[in-house]
Amino acid sequence: MNLKKLAIATVVIFIVVFAYEWLFHGVLLEGLYERTAELWRPQDTMGGYFAWLIIGQLLFAFFFVWIYYRYIRIDSMGGGARFGLALGALLGATQLIMFAVQPLLPALVVYWIIGGLVEGALIGAVAGYLYEA
């Protein structure tokens, strides 16, 4: 495995994940999060946990790319998108578990699942593009 290619792809996927999640959660779903504010950290304390968000997204990006480059090895955007969609579906199933144990709005869970599918396809397509480059 080419470590330089792995590192570059990890950084690129991290940037895509960070931007997508900011837009999706921070802008598109802001109203739903405000309606369930009692379930989340207060806005004025979230900044203290920002490093954990970055660490989590970096780890996600690294392991996504590592799995892709080590085991998937599809050298096309379409193939990468299909892998990402499958991973998004797998992770989306866990949102139903969260719904069972936490008083979440059904709409929020549906948006999380759809958003995860879109994000998975997007980062899969990017990984496929980078793998073939």
Residue pair 103/39 in contact (Cβ under 8 Å)? The answer is: yes
Q: How many domains does the chain have?
A: 1
Domain carrying residue 65 = 3-132
Q: How confident is the model at residue 53 (pLDDT cuts 50, 70, 90)?
A: very high
Q: What is the pLDDT of residue 8?
A: 97
Query: Nearest Cα to 87, choosing from 56, 54, 116?
Result: 116
pTM, 2 dp: 0.94
Q: Is the dihedral of CA 94, 99, 103, 105 positive or negative?
A: positive
pLDDT at 1 over 80: no
